[in-house]
Amino acid sequence: MSRLLNYIKNIDSNTPINLNSFFKCVDKLRLSQRCEPQNIKTTKIKGSLYTVDWINDELMRELRILAADDGQSRALAATQNRSHSVKVNGSFLLMRGKSENPVVVMIDGTGEFYYPTFQSKQALVIENRQNFIDVEVMIAFLEKHTAFEWEQEMNVIFSEGNEISNALHKKFLSNYDRIYLCMDVDLGGLTIAKNLMTLLPDTEFNFLVPDDIEKRLDRVVERESPHYIEDVIKIGLSTPVLAPYAQLIKDKQKILEQESYLHE
């Protein structure tokens, strides 16, 4: 239940509300009526708690409209220009093969999905857009520098940052027996990997890094801040399978973006 709706229910039932908090809530709304003395009458109960004895009809009408829309569908919320306050009722993933153009996997608000192509038992997840676009170059690099082996009809999925770990994707992604993760070797990449492993505890994951990762990190000039490294270490401690990569970032004090793999 939204705060605004809760306030209205309490006002209707003559239940005391925190008046200061109510005013702050209403002041954030761009209403034609304001919570001014002439628009509301109250009785103090104790402290900041008041019962609302009367409230301007037009002000209450506008509050009821916004409260009714709050937490409902984006389409309904959009009638009051508030769609941004409501989660999208569904999602989609971009998926492709080695040579084919991407297709869209549509996923509804319950996690049910539709995909106009074959779903394999293994998938390669690529974090960054350019690497997903240049997938053939990316696959060739992975086969040369990691233990990854391309299998015919394997699905390649665009991570779009951490969007892939959306809970709505669980039913679709759980159909894969093994998922290869091609992520940036940084806090963001480790976070995506951790979130996916938490979302899909029964799936086998392989976090891919080049066999010469230390040399690549050594070529990076900039070092990360102690605070950044602390956050990396936390992921390593909470997700043991990612600990070696967190340790590597800690030891080098550096990170590596996967776009660099495209410039051999």
- DSSP string across 135-200: HHHHHHHHHHHSS----TT-EEEE-TGGGGG-GGGHHHHTT-SEEEEE--BSHHHHHHHHHHHHH-
Same-domain status, 194 and 179: yes
pLDDT band at 64 (very low <50, low <70, confident <90, very high): confident
Q: Which of 85, 116, 141 is a domain's end point?
A: 85
Same-domain status, 143 and 198: yes
- Amino acid identity of 105? V
Q: Which pair of tokens denotes residue 143? A: 């086969």
pLDDT band at 116 (very low <50, low <70, confident <90, very high): low
Same-domain status, 222 and 108: yes
Same-domain status, 187 and 211: yes
Same-domain status, 98 and 38: no
Residue range 105-115, pLDDT digits in tens: 998 878 888 77
- Amino acid identity of 32? S
Rounded to two decimals, what is the model's pTM?
Answer: 0.68
Give residue 88's pLDDT: 46
Same-domain status, 102 and 185: yes
Same-domain status, 81 and 94: no
Same-domain status, 70 and 129: no
CATH of the domain at 167: 3.40.1360
* Distance in Å from the first CA to the final CA of the chain: 54
Task: Say which residue, 73 or 199, is predicted with more confidence.
Answer: 199
Same-domain status, 81 and 106: no
Same-domain status, 36 and 114: no
Do residues 186 and 256 touch, judged by C-beta distance below 8 A?
A: yes
pLDDT at 117 over 80: no
CA 159 – CA 205 distance, rounded (Å): 14
Same-domain status, 238 and 166: yes
Q: What SS3 class is residue 257?
A: coil
Residue range 143-196, pLDDT digits in tens: 999 999 999 889 999 998 889 999 999 999 999 999 999 999 999 999 999 999
Same-domain status, 102 and 69: no
Give residue 68's pLDDT: 62
CB atoms inside a 10 Å sphere around CB 144: 12
Do residues 164 and 179 touch, judged by C-beta distance below 8 A?
A: no
Range of the domain at 76: 3-85
Q: Phi first, then psi: what are they for 28, rounded to 5°?
A: -75, -15
CA 254 – CA 232 distance, rounded (Å): 11
pLDDT at 126 over 70: yes
What lies within 8 Å, CB to CB, of 172 at 6+ separation is: 93, 105, 107, 111, 113, 115
Q: Which of 39, 59, 85 is a domain's end point?
A: 85
Q: What is the domain count for the chain?
A: 2
Q: Which of 56, 85, 114 is a domain's end point?
A: 85
Going by DSSP bridges, is the β-strand pair 49-55/90-96 parallel, antiparallel, or unpaired?
unpaired
